[in-house]
Chain A
Amino acid sequence: MNRPAFSVDRLLNTSAAWLLALLWFLPLCYAVWTAFHPAAFEAHFVLTAPLTLENFEEAWAAAPFARYFFNTFLLVTLILICQFVLCTLAAYAFVRFDFPGRTILFTLVLLQLLVMPDILMVENYKTMRLLDLVDTIPAIALPYIASGFGIFLLRQTFMTIPKELDEAARIEGASFMGVLSKVYIPLAKPTYLAYGLVSVSHHWNNFLWPLIVTNSEDTRPVTVGLSIFSAIDSGVEWSVINAATLMTSGPLLIGFLLFQRQFVQSFMRAGIK
């Protein structure tokens, strides 16, 4: 009886999924196509088109991408480490210690989730100038280190850890920091993994703030470097730009494909979508 209804429903679902997947995938396909073929085949799709890596060589030679990659890597690592340390300590304090003003402070942390970081850009720039940090990598990182999302996420995870485990560890002689490092952090590993992915991909792709706060080659991350590279009016070809784009997003893409299963699992366990 329910078979016809079932299959119509299924058909709609499947075709919608395919449509969305294709829409998402097409630009990437186009980028791959142009990057691996000579410029003459930019808008001319034939299977016999010759494959080439020249576009990559050209892009790599045209701008200091090695430097940009190094900057991005440094930036992402710095942010991730600082966020882990700060958010862990803050979340632990919110879960384990009863101090006056705890609820108010936590509400403030939640409020931070509602504020778009872009709104604060001018204010942040002023602060960085005051600290004399403009055009440095810490300047790109600093506004993002105290992450409301991270604190919230870790607090929720820590709260699901049974209180007896904490108590047992304390009776066995662990100090507050010992309990944190031996019980809370190991049990929150999936959350750290999931949050790490979100943080890394977000800051790898972040563009506007680094563009504003950096103005030399030595500090620019790949996103800014790429945009400057492709904005040159001297007629750089699409194939070269796409090759550069693939290069910059490549590491993240490969990393995600490799760890896909772990990421999906840890997202499920961490309870975020």
Chain B
Amino acid sequence: MTNAPLTTVDGRAITLQSVSKIWGDSRAVDDLSIEVPAGTFTALLGPSGCGKSTTLRMIAGLESVDEGRIRIGDEEVNERAPSKRDLSMVFQSYALFPHLSVAENIVFGLKVRRVSRADRDARLNRVADLLGLSALLERKPAQLSGGQQQRVALGRAIIGEKPVCLMDEPLSNLDAKLRQEMRTEIRALQQQLGFTMVYVTHDQVEAITMADQVVLLNKGRLEQAATPRDLYERPATPFSARFVGTPPMNLIPASALKPLAQADTLLIGVRPEALILDPKGPITAKVKTVEYHGADTLAECSINSEPMQVRLSGGSVVTAGDTVSFGFAAEALHVFDVMQNCRRDDLLPEIGAMLCS
């Protein structure tokens, strides 16, 4: 038996141009444009019902595209059947064929495409080795654990050596520990084999840790497409700011802060972990509850009835009922405009000067 690594593939770029999906009178996906560079890992992130799965299914060809164009590689694929798009997909439910053994499940696509038996067996051996499934090949999916089923689904997706792989929340049925393992494994697999990955998830941790590019969707519209670092450090909209990071970024109406009382369309954003105790700080808040976590302490505060969360280092002592002042570094400041739903970097120096003296 050969233990040669799987052949790497040349990923293909995927481009969505103003793509929309319309159900009756609601737009599940609305004027969405995304660039997925070849060979990269892109995560489609968003709350449930934001259209991320629909977008993935449109790329796969399982849903028709109502407006706009989808290109894979150099070709437009709008009218192409799923089987002609040269891609593989992992479903949330894994979609393993219950009447076929693990081996038959994995080589299903090769068999359909009439790949020779010798080639099929050789590839099956390599994939089974890679995923640690060699001992399970004769079993039926019902006899496997959730994690093993997940691996079989992965095997079926990679054995075809397709340039594009789509995954629809593949880890949501696993327990936390296994999810973390599989996260690393899927990412390693993608980098090793070189295909283009589009990965749907509602879990921001998954998106942030795995992806080269995160595409954040909300109500069918694009909120932000950026690298995980940019998404965390420079969120483009108030929604992005709140969606990424645990606990989420504090967005305080500027009117709640004394120096900015007249700028009522602005939101001041500061992450809970960027706030520090500072008697001369610009933010004065009343502590409502305190949660001690060991390494840090999570304090729920309010400024003129606006809620705010603070993550303080373990040593800091605050108690519920205290009125405390907080400060932060100028780099930790974010300013958003509510009316235009955007980030206002042009106001940063001015407001920074007012707040972080």
Contacts and interface: CB of A to CB of B under 8 A. Distances in A.
A170 B95 contact: no
Classify the interface of chain A: helix, strand, loop or mixed. helix
A126 B92 CA distance: 56
A250 interface: no
B109 A173 contact: yes
A172 B91 contact: no
Given A167-B82, A170-B81, A172-B108, A186 B87 contact: no
B326 to A, nearest CB: 49
Interface string B97-130: 1110000000011001100000000000000000
Contacts of B81: 170
A174 interface: yes
B83 A167 contact: no
Contact of A183 (B87, B89, B97, B160): B97
B156 interface: yes
B62 to A, nearest CB: 5
B96 to A, nearest CB: 8
B112 A174 contact: yes
Contacts, number: 57
Interface residues of A, number: 18
B164 to A, nearest CB: 11
Contacts of B88: 171-172
Interface residues of B, number: 22
Interface string A146-176: 0000000000000000101101111111110
Contact of B93 (A162, A170, A183, A189): A162
A187 B98 CA distance: 8
A119 to B, nearest CB: 41
A182 B98 CA distance: 11
Interface string B160-179: 10000000000000000000
Contacts of B91: 164, 167-168
A186 B99 contact: yes
A174 B81 CA distance: 11
Given A172-B83, A174-B83, A165 B112 contact: no
Contact of B156 (A170, A172, A182, A183): A172
A165 B97 contact: yes
A162 to B, nearest CB: 7
A178 interface: yes
A-B pairs, top 4 by smallest CB distance, nearest first, are: A172-B109, A164-B95, A168-B95, A173-B83
Given A164-B91, A172-B156, A182-B112, 18 more contacts: A162-B93, A164-B92, A164-B93, A167-B91, A167-B95, A168-B95, A168-B156, A169-B97, A170-B62, A170-B81, A170-B82, A171-B62, A171-B87, A172-B88, A172-B108, A175-B83, A186-B99, A187-B99
Interface of B: 60-62, 81-83, 87-89, 91-93, 95, 97-99, 108-109, 112-113, 156, 160
Interface of A: 162, 164-165, 167-175, 178, 182-183, 186-187, 189
